[in-house]
Amino acid sequence: MIEFLKAVLFGIVEGITEWLPVSSTGHLILLDEFLHLNISEAFYEMFQVVIQLGAILAVIVLFFHKLNPFSPKKDAPQKKDTWQLWLKVIVAVLPSAVIGLLLDDWMDEHLYNYIVVAIMLIVYGIAFLFVEKWNQRRSFRIHSTGQIDYRTALLMGAFQCLSLIPGTSRSGATILGAIILGVARPAGAEFSFFMAIPTMLGASALKLLKFLLDGATASSTELMVLITGCVVSFIVSLIVIKGLMEYVRKHSFSIFGIYRIVLGIAVVAYFVITSLA
């Protein structure tokens, strides 16, 4: 029961932080420091990525009609536009897919710790404040996902590469990149959600494959933890995505920048005090 409750909490944190620009991986790493799951190290490395599958399903459910090129409710031009949207999404995820495959093991070994998370929380928190202030004097050239061209999609994909460093935030990096490229927040956030589908599916498949190839096995408790985390993250993601889309239409991301800075400083302070105690 205790592990089940922990899994619920991990699912809640994943469902909230996956879509907000505050870093889901970073929050899961920090949560594990305070509330350690009773699972093997190998399973946890897989768990903290595969738990994102629940969040992916939420995007598919919420945007199913827009993403479905076979919908009978769409005419031929609309179906063509949907296929083009998917092609742009694939182009956008190519940079992070290549770099992620090449550096996955190295990043797992060197970057998945609270120090890196804290630094990235603060650095990108400052970046959000700077970019939002700069945006007050700009007008956006792209206001819908349909207006995003292949060049802009590829450049957003380049920004997504930054999120390979834990504590950065995949949605944060891509939305920040979109804003810099002249994409309005709602369109940037929506396209970022679409980019998450192949990105997370690929990352989850890679982690699961490595887990199996290493000969690791999962206990019934570990499987329960994974399933619970995925289900909870799906339910929470449904709520968070809807809320975030409403929020970005009326507000800037400055509040998330402040949150990141405060959390990053708090994390550093906590671990410094702990090490001195």
Rounded to 10°, the helix 114-135/170-180 angle is 30
Assess contact for 116 and 251: CB atoms under 8 A: no
**Predicted local distance difference test score (pLDDT) of residue 71:** 92
Q: How far apart are CA 47 and CA 177, in angstroms?
A: 28
Tokens of 57: 């399903």
Assess contact for 248 and 241: CB atoms under 8 A: no
Q: How confident is the model at residue 259 (pLDDT cuts 50, 70, 90)?
A: very high
| Confidence check: pLDDT of 229 > 90 | yes
Q: How far apart are CA 217 and CA 215, in angstroms?
A: 7
- Boundaries of every domain in the chain: 2-276
Q: How far apart are CA 52 and CA 16, in angstroms?
A: 11
The span from the first CA to the last CA of the chain, in angstroms, equals 32
158 or 114: which leads in pLDDT = 158
Region 24-41: mean pLDDT is 82
275 or 127: which leads in pLDDT = 127
Chain mean pLDDT for the chain: 89
Percent of the chain with pLDDT over 70: 100
Region 173-197: mean pLDDT is 92
Q: How far apart are CA 45 and CA 37, in angstroms?
A: 12
Query: Phi then psi for 162, rounded to 5 degrees?
Result: -65, -30
Using alpha carbons, select from 222, 212, 202, 211 the residue that is nearest to residue 53: 202
Percent of the chain with pLDDT over 90: 45
Q: Dihedral, CA atoms, 50, 150, 147, 162, nearest 10 degrees? A: 40
Region 221-249: mean pLDDT is 92
